[in-house]
Chain A
Amino acid sequence: MDCLHRKHLTRRQFLKGAATAVALPHLVSVPSLLDPPPVHASGESDLIIAKQGSPTQLLQAALAPLGGMGRFVKQGQRVVIKANIAWARTPEQGCTNNPELFMALIKICYDAGAKRVAVWDHTCDNYQFTFSRSGLKDAAQKAGADIFSGHGQNVYKPVQIPKGKKLKKAEILRDVLESDVFINFPIPKHHFATELTLGMKNLIGIVWDMEQLHKIDLHQCIADVSTLRKPDLVVMDAIRILTTNGPKGPGKTEDIGEVAASSDMVAIDSYGATYFKNPKTGKPFKGEEILFVKHAYDLGLGQIDLAKVQVKRVSAT
């Protein structure tokens, strides 16, 4: 029953979105999950926030209103996940992805028919230590995914960034560029330099000389890199977030117990910012207050104003 109920909701959601945004009559008459509306068209952004439940339940609940993983992953496709495995920290410290959610994400991709799921990160600490301490190597292997570290320059491909304002070229993980489906899997964290680490900051881990970006203009570079290969889906792991001493920690953590999913990388970052309090105003951060989110919005990568995004909160249980 539950399943049917959810499916019904999905369709209505879809119909509403299509009607308000594009208002194409033929789409209203042929409602179909196999024929979703264009993902990045403005005003159509869907942002689902799932609360209450085990990581696996949260993920399923967050994806269902978007049309399930089947909307993003088709039979036989190669999926690349950019996880956050940057630091040699344990899962409890909230600096790297939740292993259980991570496994659920890989499994759900395979269930949707993925041919291969590869997980990548260009780690900051030595990859051998981050992979083992975070428990994510074991998790990936258990779930049947390949886990790769970008510690060698040979796995990157030099590319031009035509839409970049300050960063005109960079070396990007070849596997990400050539993937059929690209999923960004960030964990929101405090960050001294950029205030917060959100989805687009996580994407810096697909760049070879990450540290060099600080020399140019970090915020603009984050936005510029995000123009290259837009993630088809962003799954934000907000089960436990790091609120101080980020991004490496260890610091204070907060159990939010949420998983957010969206195909709009700006909207989800704008939402992710609200988990944290702005020390200057004492109120939760707004997307505009995080410069890289603002820059990404200016580049037309998505919707920053949450009032203009269809935000849907669901309970996983």
Chain B
Amino acid sequence: MTRTVQTLRRAVQTLSFLFLLYLILRTAFPLELKMPVDLYLRLDPFIAIITLLGKKAFILSMLPAFGVLLLVFVFGNFFCGWFCPMGATIDFFDRVLFREKKRPKGFNEQPLRRLRYGIFLFSLAAGLMAWQLLYLLDPISLITRTLVISFYPPAIYVFNHLIPKIQMILPRNPHIISDIPLPLFKVNLFIFVIFLGILVLGLVRKRFWCRYLCPLGTLFSMTSRLRIFRRSVTNECTHCLKCVKDCPGGAIPEQEPQTYRQQDCVSCLKCLDCPPKAVSFKFAFPRWKSVEQVSLSRRYVLGSFGFGLLSALVIKTNPLQTESTLKNNRLIRPPGSLPEDEFVTVCTGCGQCLKVCPNNALQSTLLEAGLAGLYTPRLVPRIGYCEEFCNFCGRVCPTAAIKPLPVEEKRLIQVGVAHINKTRCIAWDTDKICLVCNEQCSYQAIVGDEKKRPIVKEEKCTGCGICENKCPVDGESAIIVYASGVQKILTPNNNS
């Protein structure tokens, strides 16, 4: 019975992870999936609450998240134990790589358990000051971002190398299938190392990340104290401590295995595998009281909160931040993005827009938008340009940091303006005929003069960057798009 429960749980976890993978893979042209591809992010109550605070407006697409929160009141942190793709990954690696005997014994959990609330309060305060540290730690955003940025490009690399082999066994030879252009993300190493770090923490304790760091888990802990689906232990308990050892959340205290900290229980039901069969789960009246509570002193709470506020202020007054819109005019946001201040507050850095962009034009920032803008998307035209009839980035954004716009509206948004570097331009610098930029321009914003040299019409240029992308000059392009600060809407008749 208990074994079936665990097999079932592992199957659910695997399926949940594979489903996320499937959704990420389908976050691509033609984007016609019936269900939202950002489903997991929409189910994340943590993101819902933080964007609610940051944006000060309710986002309808995030409504399912509150349903999850309601379920947590009933079943506790079942999401962590059964559905969380990050939890599933951690469980898998904990099981495969780190055996129990490798883990240090006798270690005082108290400070770490407290740390989790400290981080939560710190980040909450920072979030109120518009430094969205929490998004970086949110497990759904984190796993999506990691899969997109660090794992998707290697997968494509392998796929491209397998193409010739696949073609050999295809019946309708000779089929020639083009490589998928390799997606490039500059922050992939950084994100990969963080991901590895989270997995390696499993050496110290099972589900280290979930127990001591995860902010979504912390939120779930707070709500699941009042859970209805509760564990109960009969007197037959022999203090064999099997359940203590098995519990991935460390929710059962060694001294009193008959009790448990309901807020840390991920409802994995592993403790049902009890030699005297003393453990059962029943629906029972909710109780706030718990054993071995984390001692959150007033000083600790206020300290974390105040420190969060201060840190956010320091980061916000850093020149990287204050100048991100004024002086960094290579910071081009995707069309339909909210104004910069709001954008960095609402963008969760999940990487969905990076994945869906058909031209790999969107790149994750590291410090280009300041620390507060970490992992936010920016358009890098030399890598890829913004496709004229594509509005995918807005359509997959779970928090509407990039507004979902109809294609016709998106075509009128000016994210920047192209400028020609006449000392590098082939047509201006030599007597050759080039005009690649004019030929490629979708909006007729580049015209040729009488000598067939390109000239940019600012009132028509959307800053899509196709000119910068296709410019045949080696290295830096001879035509460069600079952000226009605030995105403008061009008048339609200019653009027909």
How many chain B residues sit at the interface, stated as a range, is: 35 or more
- With A and B bound together, what is the CA distance between A148 and B174 in angstroms? 13
- With A and B bound together, what is the CA distance between A194 and B473 in angstroms? 19
> Which one of B160, B389, B471 lies within 8 Å of A129 (CB-CB)?
B389
- With A and B bound together, what is the CA distance between A149 and B387 in angstroms? 17
A212-B472 in contact given A128-B30, A152-B179 (Cβ < 8 Å): yes
Looking at B308-316, B321-329, B439-447, the stretch in contact with chain A turns out to be: B439-447
Looking at B76-84, B256-264, B339-347, B428-436, the stretch in contact with chain A turns out to be: B428-436
Within 8 Å CB of B433, what residues of A?
Answer: 193-194, 214, 218-219
How many chain A residues sit at the interface, stated as a range, is: 35 or more
| Interface residue? A154 (CB, 8 A) | yes
Within 8 Å CB of B432, what residues of A?
Answer: 214-215, 217-218
Within 8 Å CB of B390, what residues of A?
Answer: 126, 129
| Interface residue? A150 (CB, 8 A) | yes
Which single residue of chain A is at the shortest CB-CB distance from B444? A245
| Interface residue? A75 (CB, 8 A) | no
Within 8 Å CB of B177, what residues of A?
Answer: 148, 152, 155
User: Are A126 and B358 in contact, CB atoms less than 8 angstroms apart?
Assistant: yes
- With A and B bound together, what is the CA distance between A174 and B177 in angstroms? 11
User: Are B358 and A129 in contact, CB atoms less than 8 angstroms apart?
Assistant: yes
A148-B178 in contact given A133-B389, A193-B435 (Cβ < 8 Å): yes
> Which one of B163, B388, B389, B436 lies within 8 Å of A211 (CB-CB)?
B436
User: Are A155 and B387 in contact, CB atoms less than 8 angstroms apart?
Assistant: no
| Interface residue? B297 (CB, 8 A) | no
Q: How far is the CB of B465 from the nearest CB of chain A, in Å? A: 13
- With A and B bound together, what is the CA distance between A203 and B442 in angstroms? 22
| Interface residue? A191 (CB, 8 A) | yes
- With A and B bound together, what is the CA distance between A73 and B445 in angstroms? 44
User: Are A215 and B452 in contact, CB atoms less than 8 angstroms apart?
Assistant: no
Q: How far is the CB of B246 from the nearest CB of chain A, in Å? A: 49
| Interface residue? A88 (CB, 8 A) | yes
Which single residue of chain A is at the shortest CB-CB distance from B179? A152
A248-B389 in contact given A192-B448, A215-B426 (Cβ < 8 Å): no
Which single residue of chain B is at the shortest CB-CB distance from A178? B174
| Interface residue? B172 (CB, 8 A) | yes
User: Are A193 and B163 in contact, CB atoms less than 8 angstroms apart?
Assistant: no
| Interface residue? A125 (CB, 8 A) | yes
User: Are B440 and A124 in contact, CB atoms less than 8 angstroms apart?
Assistant: yes
A126-B359 in contact given A88-B388, A192-B439 (Cβ < 8 Å): yes
Which single residue of chain B is at the shortest CB-CB distance from A115? B172
Per-position binary interface string of chain B over residues 413-434, scored 1 when its CB falls under 8 Å from any chain A CB and 0 otherwise: 0000000000000100000111
Q: How far is the CB of B25 from the nearest CB of chain A, in Å? A: 15
Q: How far is the CB of B449 from the nearest CB of chain A, in Å? A: 11
- With A and B bound together, what is the CA distance between A124 and B472 in angstroms? 13
A151-B178 in contact given A88-B387, A214-B432 (Cβ < 8 Å): yes
Within 8 Å CB of A132, what residues of B?
Answer: 30
A211-B387 in contact given A152-B178, A175-B176, A193-B439 (Cβ < 8 Å): no
User: Are A248 and B452 in contact, CB atoms less than 8 angstroms apart?
Assistant: no
- With A and B bound together, what is the CA distance between A175 and B177 in angstroms? 10
Which chain B residues numbered 118 to 171 have a C-beta less than 8 Å away from chain A?
160, 163-164
Which single residue of chain A is at the shortest CB-CB distance from B163? A154
User: Are A214 and B472 in contact, CB atoms less than 8 angstroms apart?
Assistant: yes
Q: Which secondary structure characterizes the binding site on chain A?
A: mixed
Within 8 Å CB of B163, what residues of A?
Answer: 154
| Interface residue? A250 (CB, 8 A) | yes
Within 8 Å CB of A133, what residues of B?
Answer: 389
| Interface residue? B175 (CB, 8 A) | yes
User: Are B434 and A125 in contact, CB atoms less than 8 angstroms apart?
Assistant: no
- With A and B bound together, what is the CA distance between A88 and B470 in angstroms? 16
| Interface residue? A160 (CB, 8 A) | no
Q: How far is the CB of B210 from the nearest CB of chain A, in Å? A: 39
| Interface residue? B181 (CB, 8 A) | yes
Per-position binary interface string of chain B over residues 435-473, scored 1 when its CB falls under 8 Å from any chain A CB and 0 otherwise: 110111110100110001000000000000000001111
Q: How far is the CB of B395 from the nearest CB of chain A, in Å? A: 15
A126-B387 in contact given A214-B433, A215-B432 (Cβ < 8 Å): yes
- With A and B bound together, what is the CA distance between A193 and B387 in angstroms? 22
| Interface residue? A116 (CB, 8 A) | yes
Which single residue of chain A is at the shortest CB-CB distance from B454? A192
User: Are A152 and B389 in contact, CB atoms less than 8 angstroms apart?
Assistant: no
> Which one of A154, A191, A193 lies within 8 Å of B179 (CB-CB)?
A154
- With A and B bound together, what is the CA distance between A175 and B167 in angstroms? 14
Which of B178, B388, B438, B442 is packed against the most chain A CB atoms within 10 Å? Answer: B178
Within 8 Å CB of A212, what residues of B?
Answer: 472
- With A and B bound together, what is the CA distance between A153 and B174 in angstroms? 17
- With A and B bound together, what is the CA distance between A193 and B426 in angstroms? 13
- With A and B bound together, what is the CA distance between A32 and B204 in angstroms? 87
User: Are A128 and B358 in contact, CB atoms less than 8 angstroms apart?
Assistant: yes
- With A and B bound together, what is the CA distance between A215 and B472 in angstroms? 7
Within 8 Å CB of B436, what residues of A?
Answer: 193, 211, 214
Which single residue of chain B is at the shortest CB-CB distance from A88? B389
Within 8 Å CB of B447, what residues of A?
Answer: 192
Q: How far is the CB of B305 from the nearest CB of chain A, in Å? A: 48
| Interface residue? B96 (CB, 8 A) | no
- With A and B bound together, what is the CA distance between A138 and B442 in angstroms? 23
Q: How far is the CB of A21 from the nearest CB of chain B, in Å? A: 37
User: Are A214 and B426 in contact, CB atoms less than 8 angstroms apart?
Assistant: yes
Which single residue of chain B is at the shortest CB-CB distance from A127? B178
Within 8 Å CB of B172, what residues of A?
Answer: 116
User: Are A211 and B181 in contact, CB atoms less than 8 angstroms apart?
Assistant: no
Which chain A residues numbered 209 to 249 have a C-beta less than 8 Å away from chain B?
211-212, 214-215, 217-219, 245, 247-248
| Interface residue? B1 (CB, 8 A) | no
Q: How far is the CB of A122 from the nearest CB of chain B, in Å? A: 9
User: Are A192 and B160 in contact, CB atoms less than 8 angstroms apart?
Assistant: no
| Interface residue? B496 (CB, 8 A) | yes
Q: How far is the CB of B29 from the nearest CB of chain A, in Å? A: 4
Within 8 Å CB of A152, what residues of B?
Answer: 160, 177-181
| Interface residue? A171 (CB, 8 A) | no
Q: How far is the CB of B418 from the nearest CB of chain A, in Å? A: 15
Which chain A residues numbered 229 to 288 have a C-beta less than 8 Å away from chain B?
245, 247-248, 250
- With A and B bound together, what is the CA distance between A88 and B471 in angstroms? 19
Q: How far is the CB of A141 from the nearest CB of chain B, in Å? A: 14
> Which one of A126, A146, A153, A193 lies within 8 Å of B434 (CB-CB)?
A193
List 4 A-B pairs, minimum CB-CB distance, nearest first: A152-B179, A152-B178, A193-B435, A211-B472
A sample of 21 inter-chain contacts (CB < 8 A) reads A88-B387, A125-B388, A126-B387, A126-B390, A128-B30, A149-B178, A150-B178, A152-B177, A152-B180, A154-B163, A154-B178, A155-B179, A175-B174, A178-B174, A192-B435, A192-B439, A192-B447, A214-B435, A215-B434, A218-B432, A248-B442
16 further A-B pairs in the complex, CB-CB below 8 A; given A152-B177, A214-B432: A88-B442, A116-B172, A124-B440, A126-B358, A126-B359, A148-B178, A151-B178, A153-B179, A154-B179, A191-B439, A192-B447, A211-B471, A212-B472, A214-B426, A219-B433, A248-B442
